Amino acid sequence: MEYEFKIEYNGLEMTFGNGYIIQEIEGLDNPEMRISRDDLTGMDGGNIWARLYGMRGIAIMGSVFGDDADDFFANKRNLIRAFNKSSDDWMVITLWNGQSRRIRAKSVALPVMPIREAEVDHTEFRVEVICEDPFWRDTTELELTATLSQPTGIEIPFTLPATMGQSDSSNTVTITNTGDEDVYPYIKITGTVANPKVTNITTGEEFEIETTIASGEFVELFVDSRGKVVLLNSTTKYWQYLTGNFIRIASGVNQLVFNANSYSAEAQLLVRYSNKYESIQ
């Protein structure tokens, strides 16, 4: 099966059929590495203290054309609108083999398109974006859930805030990270559940929310441009109840375990993530 090379950004689909020819793209492979280092005093050599990726810059060069002058200028306007100074959207690139990956990108320069005499239906262009997160992602997110088992064969003759139960395999989630890097997942814990704990058996990382999440409420943990975030019902900061560490999904197979002191049948752990890649290929 043959696939068409395609770039999608901010509502614009850049393909040959839509009036765009992509000739060259810079920045699709490994992002620039930033290094913390110093030289040794009075002797040869030095120390490298840290190696991290910086932001990723992507430049796209090609041609825009139209069947006639009106079509050409309409395609030019669409390019300018897509890559305006406020553009901040997922850029999705599909390669000729059909593989698609996406990256969050901000436009940092309006499209450069020279005007030449007699060129009334085509011209070259160059657009530039910067990606604050340098990693490529899958175009879809994976979502898994875990619950807590309910008691069987035991009657409790008084009312409790939540039903007690024993854990079984329903509280375990197996996740396979096929990407190049560890991933901080989006985590959502729904009540009623008291002192929920999530452990990544593979990495040894775990955290606990040391309070009761009421019925109909939920706690979210995720990492974004602000850093690590813990919220109740998507609005209230909830850091004061967190102990332990944010868990990561390491490359390879991971086993997550969901436990709690007490809980209702509605208690649930939801884990959502997408794999991260250093290169688009």
| SS3 of residue 16 by DSSP | helix
- Please tell me the pTM assigned to this model: 0.82
The per-residue pLDDT of the chain, averaged, comes to 89
Q: Is residue 51 over pLDDT 60?
A: yes
Number of alpha helices (DSSP H) and beta strands (DSSP E) in the chain: 1, 25
Please name the residue ranges forming H helices in the chain. 69-82
pLDDT at 163: 35
End-to-end CA distance of the chain: 18
How many CB atoms sit inside 10 A of residue 236's CB? 10
Q: Tell me the average pLDDT across 47-74.
A: 94
What is the C-alpha separation between 64 and 74, in angstroms, rounded? 10
33, amino acid identity: M
Alpha carbons 103 and 80: distance in angstroms, whole number = 20
Tens of pLDDT, residue by residue over 166-214, are 334 589 999 999 999 999 999 999 989 999 999 999 999 999 999 999 9
Distance CA 47, CA 35 (A): 10
pLDDT exceeds cutoff 80 at 164: no
Please state the φ and ψ torsions of residue 163, each to the nearest 5 degrees.
-80, 130
Q: Which of 102, 249, 277 is nearest to 187 (CA)?
A: 249
| CA atoms within 13 A of residue 223's CA, in its CB half-sphere | 13
Rounded to whole angstroms, how far apart are CA atoms 80 and 262?
Answer: 56
Q: At residue 118, does pLDDT exceed 90?
A: no
Question: By C-alpha distance, which of 262, 67, 13, 6 is closest to 148?
Answer: 262
What pLDDT score does 2 carry?
Answer: 65
6-138, CATH topology level: Elongation Factor Tu (Ef-tu); domain 3 (2.40.30)
pLDDT band with cut points at 50, 70 and 90 for residue 152: very low
Task: Summarize pLDDT for 63-115 with one digit per residue, the tens.
Answer: 999 999 999 999 999 999 999 999 999 999 999 888 999 999 999 988 988 88
Span 5-37, pLDDT tens digits: 899 999 999 999 999 999 999 999 888 889 999
Strands (E), 66-156: 88-94, 100-112, 122-131, 136-138, 142-147
Lookup: tokens for 122: 């085509």
Q: Are 262 and 164 in contact (CB under 8 A)?
A: yes
CA–CA dist 233, 235 (Å, integer): 6
For the chain, the structural domain boundaries read 6-138, 142-277
Q: How many CB atoms lie within 10 A of CB 171?
A: 21
Q: What CATH number has the domain spanning 142-277?
A: 2.60.120.860
